[in-house]
Amino acid sequence: MKRKKIAIDMDEVMADAIGRFIELYKKEFNEDLSDLRLPGRNLQNTVPPERLEAVRQFPHRAEFFKDLDPIPGALEGIHQLHEKHDVYITTAAMEFELCFTDKFNWLKKHLPFISWKNIVFCGDKSIILADYLIDDLERNLKTFTGTPLLFTAPHNAHVEGYTRLNNWQEVTDYFLN
Ligand SMILES: [Mg+2]
């Protein structure tokens, strides 16, 4: 089997950024935002309008991306893919100016077998040329020139028209079975 180039997004595919939103919301407003994990939910339809802008600023804070929990099965799954294919980490890091070191340290800690040569901190992902892109955001998938794969996250429950992978077991089954 020929090795494929597989580009994989970070937030909500391998790193649980929603967990950090819930944690910071609790600190800031002393309320629970766990509903953000329900299918169909996003910040817009979960956070009260008067707090929405403040919450949207969370990822611009220092350390928002520090030590995010891995998505279940992601680290093992990426390791399995890495053995059979060429894995690239592609994250739209440029959107959040303070995230770079935290994201890079996260990758070094959790995926030490991924070379720096295989890490792409980018803006518009349409520049990415690979065979596959695994991502939770439709805006990244719709311009991708290879095979787009939608990784299920609460906010994309309504998205149709893509091959959907609901969890990391389904990702590894897709590529390895
Ligand atoms: Mg993402």
- Walking along the chain (177 residues) 10 residues at a time, the average pLDDT comes out as 94 98 98 98 98 98 97 98 98 96 98 98 96 98 98 98 98 95
- With a CB cutoff of 8 Å and minimum separation 6, the contacts of 128 are 7, 88, 90, 120, 122, 144
Q: Is 67 a catalytic residue?
A: no
State CA 53 to chain mean position distance. Answer: 21
- pLDDT score for 1: 75
Q: Is 32 a catalytic residue?
A: no
Q: Output the CA 122–ligand 1 centroid distance in Å.
A: 12
Q: Output the CA 14–ligand 1 centroid distance in Å.
A: 8
Catalytic residue among 9, 102, 135, 136: 9
- pLDDT score for 63: 96
Buried b (16+ CB within 10 A) or exposed e, 71-95: bebbeebbebbbeebebbbbbbbee
- pLDDT score for 177: 82
What is the C-alpha separation between 47 and 72, in angstroms, rounded? Answer: 25
Catalytic residue among 11, 16, 102, 136: 11
Q: Output the CA 24–ligand 1 centroid distance in Å.
A: 19
Helix (H) or strand (E) holding 120: strand 119-121
Tell me, yes or no, if the pTM score tops 0.85.
yes
Looking at domain 5-16+68-176, its CATH class is alpha beta
Q: Which two tokens stand for residue 153?
A: 């996250």
Q: Output the CA 165–ligand 1 centroid distance in Å.
A: 14
Q: Where are the domains of the chain?
A: 5-16+68-176, 17-60
